[in-house]
Structure 1
Amino acid sequence: METKPYKGSTLLLEIIGVLLALLFLVPFYFLVSNSFKKYGDILLDSAALPNPWTVANFTRAWDIMNFPASFMNSLVITVSTIVGLAIICSMGAYRMVRHSSKYNNILFMLFVMAMVIPFQSIMIPLIKVASWLNLTGSIPGLWFAYLGFGSSMTIFLYHGFVKSIPLEIEEAATVDGCSPYGVFWRIVFPLLKPMTVTIIILNSLWVWNDFLLPNMMLGEAQRTIPMSTYAFFGQYTKQWDLALAGLVMGVLPILAFFLTLQRHIIEGITAGSVKG
């Protein structure tokens, strides 16, 4: 196999890539390093390494945030949302693609248009409707809101991916006696794995880190990790040492989850889930 010569332009691109990577990693350096400092050391020199290193911030933040309860609330909300979006939106997108009609096309365009509506413009009507339906102050109410806000982008992504699946595969399964639901769950949905993993990652990052919607709809007993971290920022004081430690504890689970699923994305792409 002939290898291409190493050019100066390649070296320049690699240097630019390294510099961009360092630029994006700088905030993580400040987050992690300052989480191990005392409050006075953060104010004195936030860019220096901790001296001495202390884990007292993490133990105090763990207790103040009631981290196990906040973690479970965030986990339940995130998992239930991404499962609901993956199931409902994949079926909806499949129906719109395989049973194309004027009404399905109009419905799909409505979902696409809904993607550009900013949340801030509808949050007050949303809270009024949720209060009227007794959905505020509960995790199920927040789950329904997330399904509504996340369905537009999820259906849009699934819609484009379903088009790439050859119709002959489904016709062959139907001839073999597979029911319509069997065709979708046994044939189509496994072929959607690369897009499903991508959707899981995008929606997990969004739901796990979201603060505004849970803060508007949940009560004190259902606090998520972002809501618990916000408790360190008062009107007159900001406990940066505890807040940064809480942010590190909140970032680690979703970071590990992202790195784990990243491998599956690469596997799905290289395998070429659909072969025409």
Structure 2
Amino acid sequence: MTGENKFFKYLKIVIGFLVAILFLLPIFILLMDSFKNQKGILTDVLGWPNPFIFDNYPKAMEKMNFFNSLWNSVWITVVSTALILLFSSMAAWVLVRYKTKISKLMFILFAVALLIPFQCVMLPLMSIMGSKEIFSISFGDATFALNGLNILNPFGLVFTYLGFGCSMAIMLYHGFIKGVPEELEEAAMIDGCSMFKTFWKIVFPLLSPINTTVAILQIMWIWNDYLLPSLVLKEQSWYTLPLQTSKFFSTFTSSWDIATAALILSMLPVVIFYLIAQKKIIKGVVDGAIK
């Protein structure tokens, strides 16, 4: 290895180290502040806790109803992600393999949906999901009524995540499935496999790398999402962890000592998940990129 190559190698290491510090420093400061009292945070937010206050975590867990909120976050995230993987992979496969004018139009609609900000459809969506009847028109004795869904609950939230998450997932699956050999599917159909069985037995097992990539993106989005659950979930017993952290902030006062502990508790499950599954996650992302 020449001197110039060594220089660039060490330069990359130094740059990577600095970027890592840049990303980890806010989390480290948040962790340190979670062991301070309110006065300690306001006096010196960057300083070391003196003394260490361990009561913040039990207080935060009690106020945010931690285990119930954790369960809400887990099952909403898992069910939403599983449904997105299921429906998006099947839809993308059909769009790739069965090329018609309708399939091309559907693909364009999914692509265009990515360009529409959630804020543009937020109010009409909530109107449809929250009301039993949107409007009615009477013609003499006959009445035509357009009914709303009335699903402002966790199941409505999962349904909404499915709608908003499928567009990007279909785009990712669409590009990946183009690289799957079509001859494998033709051979399976010649052997008597139905369309449904061909997808599950032949195609879906080959989608493991992109499944991992899509799952990571969806889990991170759904777990950390605040806006959509705040609009859809009306009862506190349904609140997810990000929603519960809002209890510590008000218009005039904020409990920063307990709030920092609550934020750490909200991040902890997804960090543990990553540490346990990091080998599969990294392999899936790399295989998806190479494919």
Instruction: State TM-score, norm by structure 2.
Output: 0.88
Deviations 1:149-199 (A, max 9, x none): 111101111111111101112122223332221211111111111111111
Q: CA deviation at 1:274?
A: 10
Do the aligned partners of residues 89 and 251 (structure 1) sit closer, same or farther apart at CA in structure 2, a change above 3 Å counting?
same
Quote how far apart the aligned CAs of 1:74 are: 0.9
Separation in 1, partners of 2:24, 2:107: 38
Given the superposition, is the C-alpha separation of residues 213 and 193 from structure 1 closer, same or farther in structure 2, using an over 3 Å criterion?
Answer: same
1:247 aligned to which of 251, 259, 263:
263
CA contact (8 A) 1:191 1:273 kept: no
What's 1:118 paired with?
117
Q: Do the aligned residues in 2 keep the contact of 1:85 with 1:151 (CA within 8 Å)?
A: yes
CA contact (8 A) 2:210 2:285 kept: no
Structure 2 equivalent of residue 266 of structure 1 = 282
Equivalents in 2 of 1:274, 1:26: separation in Å? 32
Pairwise CA distance, 1:268: 4.2
The equivalent of 1:155 in structure 2 is 170
Q: 1: CA distance between counterparts of 2:289 and 2:33?
A: 44
- In structure 2, the partner of 1:165 is 180
Name the counterpart of 2:30.
31
Post-superposition shift, 1:272? Answer: 8.5
Q: Match of 1:68?
A: 67
CA 198–110 in structure 1, closer or farther in 2 if over 3 Å, else same: same
Q: Secondary structure at the match of 2:248?
A: coil
Match of 2:273 among 233, 245, 257: 257
- Percent identity between matched residues is 42
Alignment equivalent of 2:252, drawn from 206, 220, 236:
236
Partner of 2:144: none
Q: Match of 2:192? A: 177
Cα distance in 1 for partners of 2:7, 2:254 equals: 49
**Separation (CA, whole Å) in 1 of partners of 2:126 and 2:83:** 22
Checking the alignment, whether the CA contact within 8 Å between 2:36 and 2:53 is kept in structure 1 is yes
Give the 5 Å matches for 1:57-206: 57-132=56-131, 133-206=148-221
Instruction: Say if 1:93 and 1:159, in contact at 8 Å, map to a contact too.
Output: yes
1:86-134 Cα distance to aligned partner (Å, 9 max, x none): 0011000000001111111111111111111111111111111111334
Secondary structure at the residue paired with 1:110?
Answer: helix
- TM-score normalised by L of structure 1: 0.93
CA separation of 1:271/1:194 partners in 2, compared to 1, >3 Å: closer, same or farther?
closer
Quote how far apart the aligned CAs of 1:17 are.
1.3
Q: Sort the Cα spacing of 1:173 and 1:4 in 2 relative to 1 into closer, same or farther, 3 A.
A: farther
Gaps of 5+ in 2: 132-147
CA–CA distance in 1 between the matches of 2:282 and 2:41? 39
Moved over 6 A (4+): 269-275
Residue 19 of structure 1 aligns with which residue?
Answer: 18
What is the distance in 2 between the residues matched to 1:80 and 1:7?
48
In the comparison of the two structures, how many residue pairs are matched? 273
1:210 counterpart = 2:225: yes
How much is the aligned-residue C-alpha RMSD, in angstroms?
2.0
* Contact 2:212–2:285, Cα closer than 8 Å, also in 1: no
Change (3 A) 1:215 1:207: same
- SS of the residue corresponding to residue 231 of structure 1 reads helix
Alignment partners' CA distance in 1, 2:16 and 2:284: 25
Q: Give the distance between the partners of 2:127 and 2:283, measured in 1 at CA.
A: 45
Residue 258 of structure 1, CA deviation: 2.6
Q: Identify if the C-alpha distance between structure 1 residues 146 and 121 changes in structure 2 by more than 3 Å, giving closer, same or farther.
A: same
* 8 Å Cα contact 1:127/1:136 also seen in 2: no
Q: Secondary structure at the match of 1:7?
A: helix
> Where in structure 1 are there 5+ consecutive unaligned residues?
none
